[in-house]
Amino acid sequence: MSEGVEWALHGCLNLAWAEEGEDARAVPAAVLARMYELPPAYLNKQLQALARAGIVGSTSGPRGGFRLARSPREITLLDVVVAIEGADEAFRCTGILGQGPDGDPSVDYRKTCVISQTMRRAELRWRRELAGQTLADIMTTVRERFPAVPGETRDRLANLRP
């Protein structure tokens, strides 16, 4: 899995904290990058993927940057992962059963192949878990365990502006 997934998740979380502040300004990619000492241009690229997926909105120019495009309650972790990694399943069943000399091209082996089914079921469990966790859920848990984090994050974001 691409490392950008972690960046994107933390980025969204930070955008969510920022959104809660009084002066909710858009956050430039460079500010998020400074927060974790990440390559700014590359982080920007990942955020572009989030923008294409409709998870964040982007604005150019001064006072521009990224902000969440919808409520944290309507952003699941799966949404973010899919936006970065793509929607393809990790286990690519090429249907090798049909490739052999005795293979029947008219059969869809992804449906009948028991191995494929089992792998897909496991992957479905993973997806379900991620689809069941929204950004809002994460925020609630963080607030319970570390009440200071939201405020601190907003402060850091403000201080990291140029």
**Span 76-105, contacts to DNA by CB under 7 A:** 85
Residues 19-48 as x/- pattern, contact with DNA by CB under 7 A: -------x-xxx--------x-xx-xx-xx
74/129 with CB nearer a copy of itself: 129
Stretch of residues binding a copy of itself (CB under 8 A), selected from 4-12, 23-31, 51-59, 61-69: 4-12
Question: Which residue among 45, 52, 128, 161 contacts a copy of itself (CB under 8 A)?
Answer: 128
100-116 b/e with 16+ CB inside 10 Å = b? eeeeeeeeebeeebeeb
What angle is formed at CA 77 by the lines to CA 5 and CA 143, rounded to 5 degrees?
105
What values do phi and psi take at 68, rounded to 5? -60, 140
What single DSSP character describes residue 96? G
- Residue 148 Cβ vs DNA, minimum distance, rounded to whole Å: 26
